[in-house]
Structure 1
Amino acid sequence: MAPTPPPTFRKRRLGQALRRLREDRKLTQQQVADALGIQIDRISRAELGRTKIDIPLLRALLNEYGVIDADLRQTLEDMTRNIGKRGWWHSYNSFLTLTFQDFLGLEGEAQRTRTFQKLVPGRLQLEDYTRRLLEAGLGIVHPTREQLESRVAVRLERQNRLHERPYEVVLSASALVDHIGDPEIMRRQILHLREQADRDEITLRILPLDRGPHLGLDGPFTLFDFPDGGQLVALEALLNSFYLEDEDSLITYTAAFQQIHDLALDDEKSKAYLERAAHTA
Protein backbone atom coordinates (compact mmCIF):
# COMPACT_ATOMS: atom_id res chain seq x y z
CA MET A 1 0.00 0.00 0.00
CA ALA A 2 1.44 3.38 -1.04
CA PRO A 3 2.09 5.85 1.78
CA THR A 4 -0.30 8.76 2.16
CA PRO A 5 1.26 11.90 0.69
CA PRO A 6 1.94 14.77 3.06
CA PRO A 7 -0.72 17.51 3.18
CA THR A 8 -0.23 20.64 1.13
CA PHE A 9 0.08 23.89 3.04
CA ARG A 10 -3.46 24.90 2.02
CA LYS A 11 -5.00 21.67 3.31
CA ARG A 12 -2.96 21.92 6.48
CA ARG A 13 -3.96 25.53 7.09
CA LEU A 14 -7.65 24.76 6.55
CA GLY A 15 -7.46 21.72 8.80
CA GLN A 16 -5.86 23.75 11.58
CA ALA A 17 -8.60 26.38 11.34
CA LEU A 18 -11.36 23.76 11.50
CA ARG A 19 -9.78 22.01 14.46
CA ARG A 20 -9.44 25.30 16.32
CA LEU A 21 -13.08 26.18 15.73
CA ARG A 22 -14.22 22.75 16.94
CA GLU A 23 -12.07 22.92 20.07
CA ASP A 24 -13.32 26.44 20.83
CA ARG A 25 -16.82 24.93 21.02
CA LYS A 26 -15.48 22.10 23.22
CA LEU A 27 -16.77 19.49 20.79
CA THR A 28 -15.16 16.14 20.04
CA GLN A 29 -14.71 14.86 16.51
CA GLN A 30 -17.21 12.10 17.30
CA GLN A 31 -19.84 14.58 18.47
CA VAL A 32 -19.50 16.58 15.25
CA ALA A 33 -19.60 13.46 13.08
CA ASP A 34 -22.74 12.25 14.86
CA ALA A 35 -24.43 15.63 14.52
CA LEU A 36 -23.75 15.75 10.77
CA GLY A 37 -24.39 12.07 10.16
CA ILE A 38 -20.96 11.37 8.69
CA GLN A 39 -18.02 9.14 9.54
CA ILE A 40 -15.54 10.48 12.10
CA ASP A 41 -12.77 9.71 9.63
CA ARG A 42 -13.96 12.60 7.44
CA ILE A 43 -13.52 15.00 10.34
CA SER A 44 -10.14 13.69 11.46
CA ARG A 45 -8.67 13.56 7.95
CA ALA A 46 -9.93 17.06 7.17
CA GLU A 47 -8.32 18.45 10.34
CA LEU A 48 -5.04 16.72 9.50
CA GLY A 49 -5.10 18.14 5.98
CA ARG A 50 -5.21 14.63 4.55
CA THR A 51 -8.28 15.09 2.40
CA LYS A 52 -10.05 17.79 0.44
CA ILE A 53 -13.44 18.87 1.76
CA ASP A 54 -16.20 20.39 -0.33
CA ILE A 55 -18.07 23.64 0.25
CA PRO A 56 -21.32 21.98 1.51
CA LEU A 57 -19.39 20.06 4.18
CA LEU A 58 -17.42 23.16 5.12
CA ARG A 59 -20.62 25.16 5.56
CA ALA A 60 -22.18 22.40 7.63
CA LEU A 61 -19.12 22.38 9.90
CA LEU A 62 -19.17 26.15 10.29
CA ASN A 63 -22.86 26.04 11.16
CA GLU A 64 -22.18 23.32 13.72
CA TYR A 65 -19.41 25.47 15.23
CA GLY A 66 -21.67 28.51 15.40
CA VAL A 67 -19.53 30.62 13.07
CA ILE A 68 -21.58 33.67 12.09
CA ASP A 69 -18.71 36.03 11.18
CA ALA A 70 -19.26 36.60 7.43
CA ASP A 71 -15.62 37.54 6.79
CA LEU A 72 -14.32 34.42 8.51
CA ARG A 73 -16.76 32.19 6.64
CA GLN A 74 -15.71 33.77 3.34
CA THR A 75 -12.02 33.39 4.20
CA LEU A 76 -12.45 29.68 4.89
CA GLU A 77 -14.53 29.17 1.75
CA ASP A 78 -11.82 30.88 -0.30
CA MET A 79 -9.21 28.62 1.30
CA THR A 80 -11.30 25.57 0.39
CA ARG A 81 -11.77 26.64 -3.23
CA ASN A 82 -8.05 27.46 -3.64
CA ILE A 83 -6.71 24.18 -2.26
CA GLY A 84 -5.95 22.82 -5.72
CA LYS A 85 -4.80 26.13 -7.17
CA ARG A 86 -1.19 26.31 -8.29
CA GLY A 87 0.97 28.96 -6.71
CA TRP A 88 2.73 31.66 -8.73
CA TRP A 89 6.02 29.82 -8.15
CA HIS A 90 4.81 26.72 -10.04
CA SER A 91 7.07 27.43 -13.02
CA TYR A 92 10.08 27.24 -10.67
CA ASN A 93 9.00 24.00 -8.96
CA SER A 94 11.87 21.91 -10.29
CA PHE A 95 14.33 24.26 -8.56
CA LEU A 96 12.52 24.67 -5.24
CA THR A 97 12.27 22.29 -2.31
CA LEU A 98 8.79 21.33 -1.15
CA THR A 99 9.38 23.01 2.18
CA PHE A 100 10.31 26.29 0.49
CA GLN A 101 7.19 26.06 -1.68
CA ASP A 102 5.24 25.61 1.56
CA PHE A 103 6.96 28.71 2.99
CA LEU A 104 6.00 30.78 -0.06
CA GLY A 105 2.40 29.63 0.23
CA LEU A 106 2.18 30.43 3.93
CA GLU A 107 3.82 33.79 3.39
CA GLY A 108 1.30 34.59 0.68
CA GLU A 109 -1.66 33.72 2.90
CA ALA A 110 -0.47 35.60 5.99
CA GLN A 111 -2.12 38.91 6.74
CA ARG A 112 0.82 39.95 8.93
CA THR A 113 4.42 38.77 9.16
CA ARG A 114 6.88 39.45 11.98
CA THR A 115 10.48 38.34 11.72
CA PHE A 116 13.86 38.56 13.44
CA GLN A 117 16.80 38.18 11.06
CA LYS A 118 20.60 38.27 11.15
CA LEU A 119 20.83 38.83 7.40
CA VAL A 120 18.79 41.23 5.29
CA PRO A 121 15.48 39.36 4.83
CA GLY A 122 14.69 38.15 1.33
CA ARG A 123 11.73 40.50 0.94
CA LEU A 124 14.03 43.52 1.39
CA GLN A 125 17.05 42.41 -0.64
CA LEU A 126 18.39 44.03 -3.78
CA GLU A 127 19.13 41.72 -6.69
CA ASP A 128 22.92 42.04 -6.44
CA TYR A 129 22.84 41.33 -2.70
CA THR A 130 20.64 38.28 -3.26
CA ARG A 131 22.89 36.91 -5.99
CA ARG A 132 26.09 37.36 -3.97
CA LEU A 133 24.48 35.81 -0.92
CA LEU A 134 23.23 32.75 -2.81
CA GLU A 135 26.53 32.31 -4.66
CA ALA A 136 28.01 31.07 -1.37
CA GLY A 137 25.94 27.91 -1.95
CA LEU A 138 26.78 27.41 -5.63
CA GLY A 139 27.73 23.78 -6.18
CA ILE A 140 26.47 22.85 -2.69
CA VAL A 141 22.94 24.11 -2.03
CA HIS A 142 22.46 25.22 -5.64
CA PRO A 143 24.12 22.59 -7.86
CA THR A 144 23.99 24.72 -11.01
CA ARG A 145 24.05 28.39 -11.96
CA GLU A 146 20.60 27.92 -13.52
CA GLN A 147 19.16 26.82 -10.19
CA LEU A 148 20.80 29.74 -8.42
CA GLU A 149 19.36 32.25 -10.90
CA SER A 150 15.92 30.70 -10.47
CA ARG A 151 16.15 31.27 -6.72
CA VAL A 152 17.14 34.89 -7.37
CA ALA A 153 14.12 35.30 -9.65
CA VAL A 154 11.79 33.78 -7.03
CA ARG A 155 13.09 36.10 -4.35
CA LEU A 156 12.52 39.16 -6.52
CA GLU A 157 9.04 37.98 -7.48
CA ARG A 158 8.16 37.59 -3.79
CA GLN A 159 8.88 41.28 -3.33
CA ASN A 160 6.46 42.19 -6.11
CA ARG A 161 3.60 40.15 -4.63
CA LEU A 162 3.64 41.07 -0.98
CA HIS A 163 2.89 44.78 -0.93
CA GLU A 164 0.40 46.32 1.51
CA ARG A 165 0.62 43.54 4.10
CA PRO A 166 2.07 44.51 7.48
CA TYR A 167 5.68 43.37 7.68
CA GLU A 168 7.55 43.88 10.96
CA VAL A 169 11.29 43.27 10.90
CA VAL A 170 13.85 43.39 13.67
CA LEU A 171 17.25 43.20 12.00
CA SER A 172 20.46 42.50 13.86
CA ALA A 173 23.08 45.18 13.22
CA SER A 174 25.40 42.32 12.26
CA ALA A 175 23.57 42.23 8.91
CA LEU A 176 25.01 45.65 8.14
CA VAL A 177 28.63 44.74 8.89
CA ASP A 178 28.73 41.24 7.37
CA HIS A 179 29.70 42.28 3.86
CA ILE A 180 27.83 40.45 1.12
CA GLY A 181 29.65 41.33 -2.08
CA ASP A 182 31.74 44.48 -2.41
CA PRO A 183 31.31 47.68 -0.36
CA GLU A 184 29.22 49.32 -3.09
CA ILE A 185 26.68 46.47 -3.02
CA MET A 186 26.41 46.80 0.74
CA ARG A 187 26.06 50.58 0.57
CA ARG A 188 23.21 50.32 -1.93
CA GLN A 189 21.57 47.55 0.09
CA ILE A 190 21.66 49.59 3.27
CA LEU A 191 20.25 52.63 1.44
CA HIS A 192 17.51 50.38 0.07
CA LEU A 193 16.65 49.29 3.63
CA ARG A 194 16.44 52.95 4.62
CA GLU A 195 14.01 53.61 1.76
CA GLN A 196 11.90 50.57 2.61
CA ALA A 197 11.64 51.72 6.22
CA ASP A 198 9.50 54.65 5.01
CA ARG A 199 6.83 52.41 3.52
CA ASP A 200 3.57 52.37 5.46
CA GLU A 201 3.31 48.59 5.67
CA ILE A 202 6.90 48.04 6.81
CA THR A 203 8.24 48.43 10.33
CA LEU A 204 12.01 48.04 10.41
CA ARG A 205 13.99 48.19 13.63
CA ILE A 206 17.73 47.71 14.07
CA LEU A 207 19.02 45.71 17.03
CA PRO A 208 22.50 47.02 17.96
CA LEU A 209 25.18 44.51 18.91
CA ASP A 210 25.63 46.00 22.39
CA ARG A 211 22.13 45.19 23.67
CA GLY A 212 23.32 42.12 25.56
CA PRO A 213 21.80 38.62 25.63
CA HIS A 214 18.42 38.14 23.99
CA LEU A 215 16.36 35.24 22.68
CA GLY A 216 17.20 36.05 19.07
CA LEU A 217 20.74 34.79 19.63
CA ASP A 218 19.35 31.29 19.22
CA GLY A 219 18.58 32.03 15.57
CA PRO A 220 16.22 33.86 13.19
CA PHE A 221 12.50 33.09 13.12
CA THR A 222 9.31 34.28 11.48
CA LEU A 223 5.78 34.58 12.88
CA PHE A 224 2.83 34.36 10.48
CA ASP A 225 -0.64 35.65 11.46
CA PHE A 226 -3.48 34.44 9.21
CA PRO A 227 -6.91 35.95 8.44
CA ASP A 228 -8.71 33.05 10.16
CA GLY A 229 -6.95 33.80 13.45
CA GLY A 230 -4.30 31.09 13.13
CA GLN A 231 -0.60 31.55 13.77
CA LEU A 232 2.54 29.70 12.78
CA VAL A 233 6.26 29.97 13.57
CA ALA A 234 8.76 29.26 10.80
CA LEU A 235 12.36 28.37 11.60
CA GLU A 236 14.68 28.48 8.60
CA ALA A 237 17.66 26.15 8.24
CA LEU A 238 20.17 25.68 5.41
CA LEU A 239 17.99 23.31 3.39
CA ASN A 240 14.54 23.37 4.99
CA SER A 241 12.04 25.36 6.99
CA PHE A 242 10.44 23.92 10.10
CA TYR A 243 7.03 24.94 11.42
CA LEU A 244 5.74 25.14 14.98
CA GLU A 245 2.04 25.53 15.66
CA ASP A 246 1.48 24.29 19.21
CA GLU A 247 0.24 26.84 21.70
CA ASP A 248 3.35 26.79 23.91
CA SER A 249 5.66 27.48 20.96
CA LEU A 250 3.46 30.30 19.69
CA ILE A 251 3.39 31.93 23.13
CA THR A 252 7.16 31.59 23.51
CA TYR A 253 8.08 32.96 20.09
CA THR A 254 5.58 35.79 20.32
CA ALA A 255 7.15 36.82 23.64
CA ALA A 256 10.63 36.41 22.15
CA PHE A 257 9.79 38.70 19.26
CA GLN A 258 8.36 41.29 21.65
CA GLN A 259 11.53 41.13 23.76
CA ILE A 260 13.76 41.65 20.72
CA HIS A 261 11.47 44.37 19.36
CA ASP A 262 11.66 46.26 22.66
CA LEU A 263 15.47 45.98 22.81
CA ALA A 264 15.86 47.35 19.29
CA LEU A 265 16.11 51.01 18.35
CA ASP A 266 12.81 52.70 17.69
CA ASP A 267 11.70 53.45 14.13
CA GLU A 268 13.32 56.89 13.77
CA LYS A 269 16.58 55.92 15.48
CA SER A 270 16.74 52.83 13.26
CA LYS A 271 16.46 55.02 10.15
CA ALA A 272 19.26 57.23 11.44
CA TYR A 273 21.36 54.13 12.17
CA LEU A 274 20.88 52.95 8.58
CA GLU A 275 21.90 56.34 7.22
CA ARG A 276 25.13 56.28 9.23
CA ALA A 277 25.82 52.67 8.22
CA ALA A 278 25.43 53.51 4.53
CA HIS A 279 28.11 56.18 4.80
CA THR A 280 30.58 53.81 6.45
CA ALA A 281 29.88 50.67 4.38
Structure 2
Amino acid sequence: MPTIRRRRLGTTLRKLRNDAGLTLEEAAEAMGWQPPKLSKIENARQKIQPAQVTTLLKAYKITDAEVFTALENLARDADKKGWWQTYSGVVSPSYADYISLEDDAERICEWTPLVIPGLLQTANYAMETMAGTTLSRTPQEITALAEVRRARQAVLSRPDKPLEFWAIIHEAALHQRFAVRPETMREQLRRLAEAAQLPNVTLQIMPLDSTAHPGILGGFSLVSFPGPAPDIVLLENLSGATYVEGDGTSPFAQAVERIRAAALPVEDSLARLSILEEGHRT
Protein backbone atom coordinates (compact mmCIF):
# COMPACT_ATOMS: atom_id res chain seq x y z
CA MET A 1 0.00 0.00 0.00
CA PRO A 2 1.40 3.47 -0.89
CA THR A 3 2.42 5.62 2.03
CA ILE A 4 0.35 8.70 2.73
CA ARG A 5 3.40 10.84 1.94
CA ARG A 6 3.55 9.32 -1.56
CA ARG A 7 -0.18 9.91 -1.99
CA ARG A 8 0.19 13.54 -0.95
CA LEU A 9 3.08 13.99 -3.38
CA GLY A 10 1.14 12.47 -6.26
CA THR A 11 -1.94 14.57 -5.54
CA THR A 12 0.14 17.76 -5.39
CA LEU A 13 2.00 17.00 -8.63
CA ARG A 14 -1.30 16.35 -10.40
CA LYS A 15 -2.68 19.67 -9.16
CA LEU A 16 0.43 21.56 -10.30
CA ARG A 17 0.25 19.90 -13.74
CA ASN A 18 -3.39 20.89 -14.11
CA ASP A 19 -2.59 24.42 -12.93
CA ALA A 20 0.11 24.57 -15.62
CA GLY A 21 -2.50 23.64 -18.24
CA LEU A 22 -0.66 20.47 -19.30
CA THR A 23 -2.23 17.16 -20.18
CA LEU A 24 -0.76 13.94 -18.82
CA GLU A 25 0.67 13.21 -22.26
CA GLU A 26 2.29 16.64 -22.61
CA ALA A 27 3.89 16.49 -19.17
CA ALA A 28 5.17 12.95 -19.73
CA GLU A 29 6.65 13.96 -23.09
CA ALA A 30 8.52 16.84 -21.43
CA MET A 31 10.12 14.28 -19.11
CA GLY A 32 10.83 11.76 -21.86
CA TRP A 33 8.41 9.31 -20.21
CA GLN A 34 5.46 7.31 -21.36
CA PRO A 35 2.15 8.68 -19.96
CA PRO A 36 1.47 5.57 -17.83
CA LYS A 37 4.61 6.27 -15.78
CA LEU A 38 3.47 9.76 -14.82
CA SER A 39 -0.02 8.45 -14.16
CA LYS A 40 1.38 5.89 -11.72
CA ILE A 41 3.38 8.61 -9.95
CA GLU A 42 0.34 10.87 -9.62
CA ASN A 43 -1.70 7.94 -8.29
CA ALA A 44 1.05 6.96 -5.81
CA ARG A 45 1.69 3.60 -7.46
CA GLN A 46 5.26 4.46 -8.45
CA LYS A 47 8.04 6.25 -6.64
CA ILE A 48 9.67 9.41 -8.01
CA GLN A 49 13.16 10.61 -7.15
CA PRO A 50 13.78 14.13 -5.79
CA ALA A 51 15.81 15.06 -8.89
CA GLN A 52 12.91 14.01 -11.10
CA VAL A 53 10.55 16.14 -9.01
CA THR A 54 12.84 19.11 -9.66
CA THR A 55 12.75 18.53 -13.43
CA LEU A 56 8.99 18.04 -13.41
CA LEU A 57 8.41 21.28 -11.49
CA LYS A 58 10.57 23.17 -13.99
CA ALA A 59 8.42 21.75 -16.78
CA TYR A 60 5.41 23.14 -14.90
CA LYS A 61 7.09 26.59 -14.80
CA ILE A 62 7.25 26.57 -11.00
CA THR A 63 9.66 29.22 -9.67
CA ASP A 64 8.90 29.25 -5.93
CA ALA A 65 11.92 27.81 -4.09
CA GLU A 66 9.71 26.73 -1.17
CA VAL A 67 7.66 24.54 -3.51
CA PHE A 68 10.80 22.85 -4.79
CA THR A 69 12.09 22.24 -1.27
CA ALA A 70 8.77 20.95 0.09
CA LEU A 71 8.15 18.47 -2.74
CA GLU A 72 11.77 17.30 -3.03
CA ASN A 73 11.71 16.55 0.70
CA LEU A 74 8.40 14.76 0.35
CA ALA A 75 9.83 12.58 -2.42
CA ARG A 76 12.95 11.89 -0.37
CA ASP A 77 10.94 10.91 2.71
CA ALA A 78 8.11 9.10 0.92
CA ASP A 79 9.08 5.67 2.21
CA LYS A 80 11.02 6.73 5.30
CA LYS A 81 10.14 4.88 8.45
CA GLY A 82 9.30 7.03 11.47
CA TRP A 83 9.83 6.45 15.19
CA TRP A 84 6.28 5.10 15.41
CA GLN A 85 7.29 2.01 13.44
CA THR A 86 8.74 0.72 16.72
CA TYR A 87 5.13 0.36 17.85
CA SER A 88 3.90 -1.37 14.69
CA GLY A 89 2.37 -4.14 16.78
CA VAL A 90 -0.20 -1.74 18.27
CA VAL A 91 -0.26 1.20 15.85
CA SER A 92 -2.70 0.51 13.02
CA PRO A 93 -1.79 1.55 9.45
CA SER A 94 -4.34 4.37 9.51
CA TYR A 95 -2.96 5.66 12.82
CA ALA A 96 0.60 5.44 11.46
CA ASP A 97 -0.57 7.49 8.47
CA TYR A 98 -1.89 10.20 10.77
CA ILE A 99 1.29 10.34 12.85
CA SER A 100 3.20 10.75 9.59
CA LEU A 101 0.90 13.62 8.59
CA GLU A 102 1.29 15.22 12.00
CA ASP A 103 5.07 14.92 11.73
CA ASP A 104 5.07 16.72 8.35
CA ALA A 105 2.41 19.30 9.17
CA GLU A 106 2.95 23.01 9.51
CA ARG A 107 -0.40 23.70 11.19
CA ILE A 108 -3.28 21.69 12.66
CA CYS A 109 -6.66 22.96 13.78
CA GLU A 110 -8.53 20.38 15.86
CA TRP A 111 -12.12 20.53 17.07
CA THR A 112 -12.84 17.98 19.80
CA PRO A 113 -16.33 17.87 21.33
CA LEU A 114 -15.82 15.00 23.78
CA VAL A 115 -12.12 14.39 24.41
CA ILE A 116 -8.90 16.33 24.96
CA PRO A 117 -6.73 16.43 21.80
CA GLY A 118 -4.00 13.79 21.84
CA LEU A 119 -1.26 16.41 21.48
CA LEU A 120 -2.33 17.96 24.80
CA GLN A 121 -3.10 14.86 26.88
CA THR A 122 -1.27 13.88 30.04
CA ALA A 123 -0.04 10.30 30.35
CA ASN A 124 -2.69 9.46 32.96
CA TYR A 125 -5.53 10.99 30.93
CA ALA A 126 -4.40 9.02 27.87
CA MET A 127 -4.30 5.78 29.84
CA GLU A 128 -7.68 6.35 31.50
CA THR A 129 -9.52 7.35 28.33
CA MET A 130 -8.08 4.53 26.24
CA ALA A 131 -8.86 1.98 28.95
CA GLY A 132 -12.43 3.26 29.04
CA THR A 133 -13.04 3.42 25.31
CA THR A 134 -11.14 0.44 23.91
CA LEU A 135 -13.10 -2.64 22.94
CA SER A 136 -10.28 -5.15 22.44
CA ARG A 137 -6.93 -3.80 23.67
CA THR A 138 -4.89 -5.53 26.38
CA PRO A 139 -3.45 -3.49 29.29
CA GLN A 140 0.00 -3.83 27.69
CA GLU A 141 -1.27 -2.46 24.39
CA ILE A 142 -2.96 0.45 26.13
CA THR A 143 0.31 1.31 27.87
CA ALA A 144 2.14 1.21 24.53
CA LEU A 145 -0.48 3.40 22.84
CA ALA A 146 -0.26 5.92 25.69
CA GLU A 147 3.50 6.06 25.09
CA VAL A 148 2.86 6.73 21.40
CA ARG A 149 0.42 9.51 22.22
CA ARG A 150 2.94 11.22 24.47
CA ALA A 151 5.76 10.78 21.95
CA ARG A 152 3.63 12.50 19.29
CA GLN A 153 3.66 15.66 21.39
CA ALA A 154 7.30 16.32 20.47
CA VAL A 155 6.02 18.13 17.34
CA LEU A 156 4.95 21.01 19.59
CA SER A 157 8.49 21.63 20.80
CA ARG A 158 10.65 20.54 17.87
CA PRO A 159 13.53 23.01 17.36
CA ASP A 160 12.88 23.43 13.64
CA LYS A 161 9.50 25.08 13.10
CA PRO A 162 7.34 23.62 15.88
CA LEU A 163 3.82 22.69 14.84
CA GLU A 164 1.24 25.48 15.04
CA PHE A 165 -1.65 23.92 16.92
CA TRP A 166 -5.10 25.46 17.39
CA ALA A 167 -7.33 23.37 19.64
CA ILE A 168 -11.01 24.04 20.23
CA ILE A 169 -12.37 21.83 23.01
CA HIS A 170 -15.97 21.58 24.12
CA GLU A 171 -16.43 22.33 27.80
CA ALA A 172 -18.27 19.01 28.20
CA ALA A 173 -14.94 17.19 27.70
CA LEU A 174 -13.52 19.08 30.68
CA HIS A 175 -16.11 17.72 33.11
CA GLN A 176 -15.04 14.11 32.65
CA ARG A 177 -14.62 12.20 35.92
CA PHE A 178 -12.26 9.28 36.51
CA ALA A 179 -13.04 6.75 39.22
CA VAL A 180 -9.60 5.11 39.42
CA ARG A 181 -7.58 8.34 39.64
CA PRO A 182 -9.90 11.22 40.54
CA GLU A 183 -7.02 13.70 40.18
CA THR A 184 -6.61 12.87 36.47
CA MET A 185 -8.79 15.70 35.18
CA ARG A 186 -7.23 18.26 37.51
CA GLU A 187 -3.80 17.31 36.16
CA GLN A 188 -5.15 17.47 32.63
CA LEU A 189 -6.63 20.93 33.10
CA ARG A 190 -3.31 22.14 34.46
CA ARG A 191 -1.57 20.66 31.42
CA LEU A 192 -3.94 22.51 29.09
CA ALA A 193 -3.22 25.81 30.84
CA GLU A 194 0.53 25.21 30.55
CA ALA A 195 0.34 24.24 26.88
CA ALA A 196 -1.70 27.36 26.11
CA GLN A 197 1.31 29.46 27.13
CA LEU A 198 3.36 28.09 24.23
CA PRO A 199 3.62 30.63 21.39
CA ASN A 200 2.62 28.01 18.82
CA VAL A 201 -0.45 26.74 20.71
CA THR A 202 -3.87 28.44 20.71
CA LEU A 203 -6.62 27.07 22.93
CA GLN A 204 -10.32 27.88 22.93
CA ILE A 205 -13.15 26.40 24.98
CA MET A 206 -16.61 25.89 23.50
CA PRO A 207 -18.99 26.76 26.36
CA LEU A 208 -21.91 24.56 27.32
CA ASP A 209 -24.31 27.37 26.39
CA SER A 210 -22.80 28.12 22.98
CA THR A 211 -24.88 28.96 19.94
CA ALA A 212 -25.38 26.32 17.24
CA HIS A 213 -22.35 25.82 14.98
CA PRO A 214 -21.09 23.25 12.41
CA GLY A 215 -19.05 21.47 15.06
CA ILE A 216 -22.13 19.91 16.62
CA LEU A 217 -22.01 17.42 13.74
CA GLY A 218 -18.75 15.91 15.00
CA GLY A 219 -15.05 16.45 15.64
CA PHE A 220 -12.27 16.66 13.05
CA SER A 221 -8.66 17.72 12.52
CA LEU A 222 -7.70 20.04 9.66
CA VAL A 223 -4.04 19.42 8.78
CA SER A 224 -2.04 21.91 6.70
CA PHE A 225 1.45 21.51 5.22
CA PRO A 226 4.29 23.72 3.97
CA GLY A 227 4.43 24.57 0.29
CA PRO A 228 1.68 23.67 -2.17
CA ALA A 229 0.56 20.38 -0.59
CA PRO A 230 -3.23 20.49 -0.05
CA ASP A 231 -4.90 20.20 3.34
CA ILE A 232 -6.09 16.87 4.70
CA VAL A 233 -8.93 16.32 7.19
CA LEU A 234 -9.01 13.46 9.69
CA LEU A 235 -12.32 12.03 10.91
CA GLU A 236 -12.31 9.40 13.67
CA ASN A 237 -14.89 7.01 15.09
CA LEU A 238 -15.08 3.49 16.51
CA SER A 239 -14.38 1.91 13.14
CA GLY A 240 -11.12 3.84 12.68
CA ALA A 241 -9.86 6.87 10.77
CA THR A 242 -11.15 8.38 7.53
CA TYR A 243 -9.21 10.93 5.50
CA VAL A 244 -10.82 13.67 3.43
CA GLU A 245 -8.61 15.11 0.69
CA GLY A 246 -8.82 17.50 -2.25
CA ASP A 247 -11.89 19.71 -2.67
CA GLY A 248 -13.60 17.78 0.13
CA THR A 249 -11.60 19.71 2.73
CA SER A 250 -13.15 23.09 1.84
CA PRO A 251 -16.30 22.70 3.99
CA PHE A 252 -14.12 21.88 7.00
CA ALA A 253 -11.98 24.98 6.49
CA GLN A 254 -15.16 27.05 6.44
CA ALA A 255 -16.52 25.23 9.50
CA VAL A 256 -13.35 25.98 11.47
CA GLU A 257 -13.98 29.72 11.20
CA ARG A 258 -17.55 29.40 12.49
CA ILE A 259 -16.51 27.05 15.30
CA ARG A 260 -13.80 29.47 16.43
CA ALA A 261 -16.32 32.31 16.39
CA ALA A 262 -18.77 30.34 18.56
CA ALA A 263 -16.11 29.42 21.13
CA LEU A 264 -14.92 31.59 23.99
CA PRO A 265 -12.08 34.00 23.16
CA VAL A 266 -8.63 32.80 24.20
CA GLU A 267 -8.39 34.83 27.43
CA ASP A 268 -11.89 33.82 28.51
CA SER A 269 -11.05 30.20 27.71
CA LEU A 270 -8.03 30.29 30.01
CA ALA A 271 -10.15 31.83 32.75
CA ARG A 272 -12.72 29.05 32.32
CA LEU A 273 -9.91 26.45 32.62
CA SER A 274 -8.81 28.00 35.90
CA ILE A 275 -12.34 27.86 37.31
CA LEU A 276 -12.77 24.24 36.25
CA GLU A 277 -9.44 23.22 37.75
CA GLU A 278 -10.46 24.79 41.04
CA GLY A 279 -13.70 22.81 40.92
CA HIS A 280 -11.77 19.56 40.53
CA ARG A 281 -9.85 20.28 43.73
CA THR A 282 -12.95 19.58 45.80
Give TM class, smaller chain.
Answer: over 0.9
Q: What is the identity, as a one-letter code, of the residue corresponding to 1:177?
A: H
Shift, 1:8, TM fit: 0.7
Q: Could you say which residue in structure 2 is the equivalent of 1:209?
A: 208
- Counterpart Cα distance in 2 of 1:145 and 1:278: 29
Distance, in Å, in 2 between the alignment partners of 1:179 and 1:214 is 26
Match runs of 1:162-201 below 5 Å: 162-163=156-157, 164-181=162-179, 182-201=181-200
Distance 1:260 1:147 in 2: 34
AA of the residue aligned to 1:50:
R
Q: Normalising by structure 2, report the TM-score.
A: 0.93
Question: Take 2:37 and 2:8, find their aligned partners in 1: how far apart are those partners?
Answer: 16
Kindly provide the CA deviation profile for residues 233-266 of structure 1, in whole angstroms up to 9, marking residues without a partner as x.
Answer: 111122421111131x222101111100011111
Q: SS at the partner of 1:183?
A: coil
Are positions 1:93 and 2:88 aligned together? yes
Matched with 2:240 is 240
Greater CA drift, 227-236 or 175-184: 175-184
Indicate if the aligned counterparts of 2:3 and 2:79 stay in contact, CA closer than 8 A.
Answer: no
Q: 2:126 aligns with which of 130, 133, 136?
A: 130
Deviation at 1:209, TM superposition (A): 1.4
Number of positions where the alignment pairs a residue of Structure 1 with one of Structure 2: 273
1:158-215 Cα distance to aligned partner (Å, 9 max, x none): 1123322110011100111122454311111111111111110000000101113211
TM-score (norm 1): 0.93
Structure 1 residue 76, shift from structure 2 partner: 1.1
| Structure-2 separation of matches of 1:21 and 1:127 | 42
One-letter code of the match for 2:52? L
Correspondence for 2:6: 11
Tell me the distance in 2 between the aligned counterparts of 1:253 and 1:25. 27
Write the letter of the residue equivalent to 2:53: L
Partner of 1:153: 147
Paired with 2:95 and 2:177, the residues of 1 have a C-alpha distance of 25
| TM-aligned CA deviation for residue 57 of structure 1 | 2.1
Is 1:113–1:222's contact at 8 Å kept on the other side of the alignment? yes
What is the RMSD computed on CA atoms of the aligned residues?
A: 1.3
For residues 36-115 of structure 1, what are the structure 2 equivalents within 5 Å? 36-115=31-110
Is the contact between residue 141 and residue 239 of structure 1 (CA under 8 Å) also seen in structure 2? no
CA distance in 2, matches of 1:259, 1:78: 34
